Structure 1
Amino acid sequence: MGLSNLGIFHTAIGVVAIVAAIIALVRRGKIDLQQFTGKIYFYCTLVSSLTALGLSSIKGINPGHILALLIVVLISAAYYLYAKKQGNNQVRFIENFLLSFSFFLSLIPAINETFTRVPIGHPLAKGSTDPLIGKTLLLVLVLFIAGSVYQFRKQKEINKSI
């Protein structure tokens, strides 16, 4: 597998973030920064994205670095809306989308790295262009779109009831 200490730390924190997001999405239908799972997702995603900047098999800036920075921007914007726009339920639509989109983007390298490394010695995929990775990412995209529609509808109901 050949991970550096930073790579091991990055992976462990990233797995915690993904698990927290899945728990939040299953329990509440969204990543809610008021909840413990939402806070865990936010902080672990922040750390995981920042540590990704120190990881690269290619010299210089690569697409993974850009993705990590985009995720930092998305979760930071969502946190700003959460912290500074309390009581404004219209911005919850944007906050929900930003957190869900950051989760979706986090799954791209997670799926790629997992499928090209596991099981050790006989990985599921031969490389990032393997059809299995493409099909899995397509499924995740469909789930993201369906989840976003669900979140929008749920937030609309919440806003009407207030």
Structure 2
Amino acid sequence: MSVAEPRRIVLFRHAKADWPEVNDHERPLAERGRKDAPEAGLRLADTGIPFDLALCSTAARTRETWKLAVHELPHRPRTVYEERLYEASPGELIAVLNETPDDVRSALLIGHNPGVQGLAEVLSGGSEGDARQRMGSRGFPTAAFAVLSFTGSWKSLEPGAATLLDYWAPSE
């Protein structure tokens, strides 16, 4: 793939988690999360993006979100479970994305707030349509995702380098 072709990044926050008496990393999805994750998967499929790679936090709620969402996609991308995505800052998330091989055209990152929302805001140097307004008014609730595009190598991904193309969040 040429680095001049646009690349896509989808930043996907895990679905609603429960609060049982377990450590934060092991929190499972709540009933609402188990409903919202497949709906988010359908909406991801509607984007028409053929994901080459999914980077998923190792936390239980992100793994469960991905397991429920991926079944709605037309094909399952290669999935890498990455410990560094748990509690990561936008800068740490960019560092992980910078390691993506250049043969990957479209990547999906399944993670946590505030990092995922912060990364969407930091990467978005511009936006199309009302995507930024919708993201700004809704915030980044559980199971929400943002679709961004940029041109260049993954190593060149930096703040302001992408365009926010779309944003979706489940109805409340």
TM-score, L = length of structure 2 = 0.26
Q: Which has the higher helix share?
A: 1
TM-score, L = length of structure 1 = 0.27
Q: Which has the higher strand share?
A: 2
